[in-house]
A and B are shown apart, each in its own frame.
Chain A
């Protein structure tokens, strides 16, 4: 599924379909967007990752035109669109709760935009029917044309919502947590489908999600939104291995993070002095991050090699998740430390509860933010 890595997109002017420049939006004085800068490439799948309340929905609503930004510029296909009403923007919106027209059938829902738009409506019933039929085939709803939208499943509603937008041929589609309302099984399947559908239409999808695995799996580019700002914009591989700050690392849910300060060649953390090796990244707030799957668990008496960092912790529990096993330890300061062991490398080891183990990793595997 993974594509080759994409160039860093922030600041890229060429073939950017949507550009946001210093976009601000506050509700009753409380900022929801605090200077968003981003550029989205044409014909690509962009995912926008952010925790709940970080302003994801607000950003989409500003791009779609349902909310007016307080400041900044929005350029779509090179044209300034802040101030243009939603239906003249050529941007489709797929709502978090689907927002289907409850009194219309599947086919009528999909035909709505073609028949009722103010600009160039399709009046020929045959033409509408043909385009609706094509779209129903594309999203895999054949056979459900005349079903009431209240009588179809969540996954099917999702497809109707998408088809209803795609049939109007928008230049870009915004999806607000499109898989949030689906159960886990269906969510995984729809991921692949959304990507396939997008590739067939050749338009840019901006997919908002609070799930890091979804963001990483789907986006050619992943934007990370944190407290109303884009904290990082890069391809999934880079994001996963090189988060730009401790906050981004925290959203990724795969890093143990220590706060503290760098002094010379060591990082002073609450669990002791950690020797430094690899790269240091400027991020404003000093922190030390080590990925769950870069840590080895050893008996307490095993010695560490010269290029390794070693701390001690007591084992709490482990969680088996198919291909990997996640073990949880408590550190001396009471915090939880997580280790992910891939079972393809070794058979699962049995650890003793409350016993102390050495946790060891290579110096250069750690990310150091200064």
Chain B
């Protein structure tokens, strides 16, 4: 048999383009979902944008359109500071969940060969979620406090002589708390993608002579990227909308956009809360859009 014959025959193997026409009737299946989204997602967002242009006085709000709330927001150091803090904490938490979560996911998804065990380990990651959010956040106080567990251990070991005060009621405590709470949302998707890698693909790379780091960089990391992006989207959306962790662990020192919204709503400043809400929504939209550019999820999943 000759090679010429081979290349001549190859086109036969290419599949005919598949036609994927569905009867129009099936679109009705989308109706409940679309209706739900319109009613509870699109409509409130439009309403929020609308309200942000209303006129706010101390005790009441009128549907007269004005830019006043927007101008106040962008000329106030407090609010711009909150925006900057939100972005900064989001970035730090995103990086630290990735740094803590990726190795954990690598262990669970790739090095634990037993499927039952790796599922069990993932479930273990979720156990903290069996308690309420508030308890999980507040549990950090006795850990991080001046006379908390960490300071006591460090002093007993003689590593420090004075308790470290910056551990609690600071930006650091907010970051530590958020990293712990949201890490599992990073671990899950990454472990899922890593678990889908065929072990023989890694063996093939080994057989071709690549070292572990080469294999990690050229095979494992690229194949896990969709998981990283999905995890980053989860963590970003949740951290950007956060207010409870900073309220509980920062002693009101750290103000996020979420905290601003809560305070404004509490004092019935609806127009102002709406401005912060629109800014936050745009920020989240931009972050998610940017993350989706990193990989083509439709292709990878």
- Residues on the B chain within 8 Å of A154, using CB: 13
Q: Can you identify 5 A-B contacts, CB atoms within 8 angstroms?
A: A86-B206, A93-B207, A99-B203, A101-B219, A116-B214
Q: Is the CB of B206 within 8 A of A117?
A: no
CB-CB under 8 A for A117 and B1, given A93-B204, A102-B223, A156-B10:
no
User: How far is it, in angstroms, between the C-alpha of A66 and the C-alpha of B219 when the chains are bound?
Assistant: 18
Q: Is the CB of A117 within 8 A of B15?
A: no
- Residues on the A chain within 8 Å of B14, using CB: 153
- Residues on the A chain within 8 Å of B209, using CB: 87, 113, 116-119, 168
Interface residues on B, range: 20 to 34
Rounded to whole Å, the gap between the CB of A277 and the closest CB of chain B is: 42
Interface residues of B: mostly helix, strand, loop or mixed?
helix
Choose one: A97, A116, A155; the contact of B208 (CB below 8 Å). A116
- Residues on the B chain within 8 Å of A314, using CB: none
Q: Is the CB of B6 within 8 A of A193?
A: yes
Q: Interface 1/0s, chain A 90-101, versus B by CB < 8 A?
A: 011101110111
- Residues on the A chain within 8 Å of B204, using CB: 93, 95, 99-101, 164
CB-CB under 8 A for A196 and B10, given A99-B201, A116-B210, A119-B209:
no
Q: Does B57 contact A (CB under 8 A)?
A: no
> Which 5 pairs across A and B sit closest by C-beta, in order of nearness?
A117-B209, A113-B208, A140-B6, A153-B13, A192-B1
User: How far is it, in angstroms, between the C-alpha of A192 and the C-alpha of B2 when the chains are bound?
Assistant: 9
User: How far is it, in angstroms, between the C-alpha of A95 and the C-alpha of B15 when the chains are bound?
Assistant: 24
Q: Does A292 contact B (CB under 8 A)?
A: no
CB closest chain-A residue, reference B210: A116
Q: Does B200 contact A (CB under 8 A)?
A: yes
CB-CB under 8 A for A140 and B7, given A66-B203, A155-B13:
yes
- Residues on the A chain within 8 Å of B200, using CB: 95-97, 99
Q: Is the CB of B214 within 8 A of A189?
A: no
Q: Does B77 contact A (CB under 8 A)?
A: no
User: How far is it, in angstroms, between the C-alpha of A87 and the C-alpha of B202 when the chains are bound?
Assistant: 12
Choose one: B7, B9, B223; the contact of A189 (CB below 8 Å). B9
Q: Is the CB of A100 within 8 A of B207?
A: no
Rounded to whole Å, the gap between the CB of A74 and the closest CB of chain B is: 16
- Residues on the B chain within 8 Å of A222, using CB: none
Q: Does B198 contact A (CB under 8 A)?
A: yes
Q: Interface 1/0s, chain B 203-244, versus A by CB < 8 A?
A: 111111111001100110011000000000000000000000
CB closest chain-B residue, reference A142: B7
User: How far is it, in angstroms, between the C-alpha of A296 and the C-alpha of B222 when the chains are bound?
Assistant: 64
CB closest chain-B residue, reference A118: B211
Q: Does A224 contact B (CB under 8 A)?
A: no
- Residues on the B chain within 8 Å of A119, using CB: 209
Most buried by B among A117, A154, A186: A117
CB closest chain-B residue, reference A183: B13
Q: Is the CB of B201 within 8 A of A100?
A: yes
Rounded to whole Å, the gap between the CB of B12 and the closest CB of chain A is: 9
User: How far is it, in angstroms, between the C-alpha of A156 and the C-alpha of B218 when the chains are bound?
Assistant: 23
- Residues on the A chain within 8 Å of B13, using CB: 153-156, 186
User: How far is it, in angstroms, between the C-alpha of A116 and the C-alpha of B220 when the chains are bound?
Assistant: 14
